[in-house]
């Protein structure tokens, strides 16, 4: 099963959302993305990280594929 992790702005802080539940409180989007990638790596193959942009659309920031654990460029 694929694990999708979202980085969102919620109640004035950056948080990560997994399975519809918010976790953590981060001062910056980058800090939240880093925490989300750490959690995605632990989730295993197929995990993906998305973050919200200025217009609240999600863009993919990271994905696990074939053992590769790197940010998208």
Segment 43-57, tens digit of pLDDT: 988 899 998 866 666
Judged on CB neighbours under 10 Å (0-12, 13-18, 19+), 20 is exposed
Classify residue 17: in a domain, yes or no. yes
Classify residue 71: in a domain, yes or no. no
Q: Which residue has the higher pLDDT, 1 or 26?
A: 26
Q: Using CA atoms, how far apart are residues 38 and 40, in angstroms rounded to an integer? A: 5
Classify residue 56: in a domain, yes or no. yes
Classify residue 29: in a domain, yes or no. yes
Total domains in the fold of the chain? 1
Helix or strand (DSSP H, E) at 38: helix 29-43
Q: What would you report as the CA-atom Rg of the chain, rounded to the nearest whole angstrom?
A: 11
The per-residue pLDDT for range 8-56, each reduced to its tens digit, is 988 989 999 999 999 999 999 999 999 999 999 999 888 999 988 666 6
Classify residue 72: in a domain, yes or no. no
Judged on CB neighbours under 10 Å (0-12, 13-18, 19+), 40 is buried
Range of the domain at 31: 4-63
Classify residue 59: in a domain, yes or no. yes
Has this prediction a pTM greater than 0.85?
A: no
Classify residue 39: in a domain, yes or no. yes
């Amino acid at each position: 099963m694929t694990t999708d992790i979202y980085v969102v702005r919620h109640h004035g802080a950056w948080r990560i959302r997994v399975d519809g539940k918010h976790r953590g409180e981060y001062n910056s989007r980058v800090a939240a993305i880093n925490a989300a990638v750490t959690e995605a790596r632990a989730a295993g193959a197929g995990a993906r990280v998305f973050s919200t942009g200025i217009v609240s659309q999600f863009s993919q920031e990271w994905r696990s594929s074939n053992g590769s654990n790197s940010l998208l460029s």
